[in-house]
């Protein structure tokens, strides 16, 4: 199976599994958003505008439908895998990728969830946000668990240790950047999202694993040794980065 097919199949299976677990709503994945050299969620202007607040960015993505699916609290996930073909073997590999988790800034407020489904324009939505009892511009709990995973094999995007080829951002401090041991499939990225932000849901779907940790360890070791190589690198981190701070997924 090609790298392209591995990623697409994993996306489809992950969405189906999360739907069966009643953990997500409104999946939007379609081959219409995919090309021979790209698999992605809907993209219009999906980059974070750093001149705008997190709230405004979130609303722009939400209103444009720029997500792969929503979680039940209306947080969203975006993906983008870009491929190249090796001229010698003609095999495809991932040359650039982004996997993003955007937590709903009104995570704990039912009024805000209602507003997201209302037919009002962006300015009205933003104004409503600022009318909430909790000030979302100052309360870090509304945005501290934003997760962005980036990969690029371009030389211009790589500086050993300080800007690894594959790294993860957690929170809105753009300088929080830690090397990650591999470019993950969506299924593993979502396992991280659930573990870090929805631990009760994670424990529920992992109940069999938690009941037998020895078996769980064996499964994890087997998975690690057989993980598909999605990029042109045997390892996306250097030996020095592996010895330094490293995030495992």
Extents of the domains making up the chain? 3-247
Residue with tokens 């511009």: 137
- Over range 164-190, report the average pLDDT: 93
Q: Residue 2 CB: number of other CB atoms within 10 A? A: 11
With 0-12 CB in 10 A as exposed, 13-18 as middle and 19+ as buried, what is 38?
middle
> Does residue 129 surpass a pLDDT of 70?
no
pLDDT tens, residue by residue, 170-182: 987 778 899 999 9
pLDDT tens, residue by residue, 44-77: 766 788 788 788 888 889 989 999 999 998 999 9
pLDDT tens, residue by residue, 42-51: 887 667 887 8
Contact 75, 101 (CB under 8 A): yes
How confident is the prediction for the chain on average, in pLDDT?
A: 87
- Over range 199-227, report the average pLDDT: 95
Residue with tokens 């993209």: 43
What single DSSP character describes residue 184?
Answer: P
What pLDDT is stored for residue 150 in this prediction?
96
Buried b (16+ CB within 10 A) or exposed e, 187-214: ebbbbbbbeebbeebbeebeeeeeeeee
> Does residue 154 surpass a pLDDT of 70?
yes
Using 50, 70 and 90 to split pLDDT, how confident is the model at 133? Answer: very low
């Amino acid at each position: 199976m090609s790298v392209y097919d591995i990623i697409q199949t994993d996306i489809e299976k992950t969405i189906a599994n999360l739907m069966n677990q009643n953990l997500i709503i409104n999946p939007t994945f379609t081959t219409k958003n995919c090309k021979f050299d790209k698999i992605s969620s809907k993209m219009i202007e999906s980059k974070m505008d750093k001149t705008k607040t997190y709230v405004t960015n979130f609303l722009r993505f939400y209103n444009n439908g720029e997500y792969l699916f929503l979680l039940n609290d209306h947080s969203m996930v975006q993906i983008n895998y870009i491929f190249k073909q090796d001229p010698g073997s003609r095999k495809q590999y991932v040359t650039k990728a982004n996997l993003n988790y955007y937590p709903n800034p009104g995570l704990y407020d039912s009024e805000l969830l209602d507003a997201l489904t209302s037919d009002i324009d962006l300015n009205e939505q933003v104004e409503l946000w600022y009318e909430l009892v909790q000030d979302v511009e100052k309360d870090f709990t509304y945005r501290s668990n934003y997760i962005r995973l980036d990969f690029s094999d371009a030389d211009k995007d790589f500086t050993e240790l300080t800007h690894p080829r594959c790294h993860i951002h957690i929170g809105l401090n753009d300088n929080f950047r830690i090397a990650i041991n591999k470019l993950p499939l969506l299924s593993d990225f979502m396992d991280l999202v659930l573990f870090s932000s929805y631990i009760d849901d994670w424990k529920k779907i992992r109940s069999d694993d938690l009941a037998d940790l020895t078996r769980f360890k064996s499964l994890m070791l087997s998975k690690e040794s057989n993980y598909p190589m999605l990029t042109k690198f045997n390892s996306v981190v250097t030996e020095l980065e592996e010895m330094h701070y490293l995030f495992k997924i």
